[in-house]
Amino acid sequence: MHTQTSLRILVVDDYRDSADALAALLDTWGYDATATYSGAHALELAASQPYDCVLLDVMMPLMSGGELARELRRRYGGNITLIAMTGADINGASYQLIVSTVDHFLAKPIDSAALRKVISNNGR
């Protein structure tokens, strides 16, 4: 188990099973993880309690992961680590925009070893 339990991590994915499973995995590693299923709710949660890291799905309805990442950067600057995740094949301008906004980009299915390495360094 990871010894640094103070990290608060928000997992944002419109696919509830994926968000819940990833949050449960992070909890087993000793982190304080919360799952939510929309960008709007993620912004509400972030405003009500500080998160060290947000894992966000790129392809979400209503508010995309890119839009969520830009808004989190606008509000919290570099005080929050953003990790984008997607199972979609995105490229070109969409890919460049999301990559330029987030600290890390992981493909789904998430490689747990790669995720653990990123998180254990507080995403940096």
**Environment class of residue 10 by beta-carbon count within 10 Å: exposed (0-12), middle (13-18) or buried (19+)?**
buried
What's the pLDDT at 107?
86
* 65-100 exposure pattern, b = at least 16 Cβ within 10 A, e = fewer: bbbbbbbbbeebeeebbbbbbbeeebeeeebebbee
CATH classification at residue 36: 3.40.50.2300
- Residue 13 in any domain: the answer is yes
**Residue 120 banded pLDDT, cuts 50, 70, 90:** confident
With pLDDT > 90 as the criterion, what percentage of the chain qualifies?
69
pLDDT band at 4 (very low <50, low <70, confident <90, very high): very low
Q: Which domain holds residue 33?
A: 8-120
**Is 2 a member of any domain?**
no
Residues 6+ away with beta carbon under 8 Å from 62: 38, 39, 40
Token pair of 44 as six digits: 């509400």
Determine, yes or no, domain membership for 91: yes
Residue 42 has a CB neighbour count (10 Å cut-off) of 25
Return mean pLDDT, the chain. Answer: 88
- On whether residue 1 sits in a domain, the answer given is no
For the whole model, what pTM was predicted? Answer: 0.89
Q: Is residue 98 included in any domain, yes or no?
A: yes
Per-residue model confidence (pLDDT) at position 12: 98
Residue 48 lies in a domain: yes
Cα–chain center distance at 30: 17
Domain count of the fold of the chain? 1
Predicted confidence at residue 1, as pLDDT, reads: 39
Residue 88: both structure tokens together: 């979609």
79 part of a folded domain: yes
Is 45 contained in some domain?
A: yes
